[in-house]
A and B are shown apart, each in its own frame.
Chain A
Amino acid sequence: SAVISQKPSRDICQRGTSLTIQCQVDSQVTMMFWYRQQPGQSLTLIATANQGSEATYESGFVIDKFPISRPNLTFSTLTVSNMSPEDSSIYLCSARVFGNEQFFGPGTRLTVL
Chain B
Amino acid sequence: KQEVTQIPAALSVPEGENLVLNCSFTDSAIYNLQWFRQDPGKGLTSLLLIQSSQREQTSGRLNASLDKSSGRSTLYIAASQPGDSATYLCAVRRRGSLTQGGSEKLVFGKGMKLTVNP
A contact set with B: CB distance below 8 Å: 1, 4, 31, 33, 41-43, 45, 48, 50, 56, 58, 90, 92, 94, 99-107, 109
Q: A42-B111, A102-B106 are in contact. List 16 more A-B contacts (CB 8 A).
A: A42-B108, A43-B44, A45-B103, A45-B106, A48-B102, A48-B103, A50-B101, A50-B102, A56-B103, A58-B103, A100-B32, A101-B49, A104-B43, A104-B46, A105-B43, A107-B42
Inter-chain CA distance A92–B102, complex, in Å, is 20
B contact set with A: CB distance below 8 Å: 31-32, 34, 36, 41-46, 49, 51, 89, 91, 93, 100-106, 108-111
B105 with A33: CB separation less than 8 A = yes
Identify which of B49, B100, B110 contacts A100 (C-beta below 8 A). Answer: B49
Inter-chain CA distance A99–B49, complex, in Å, is 10
B66 to chain A, nearest CB (A): 14
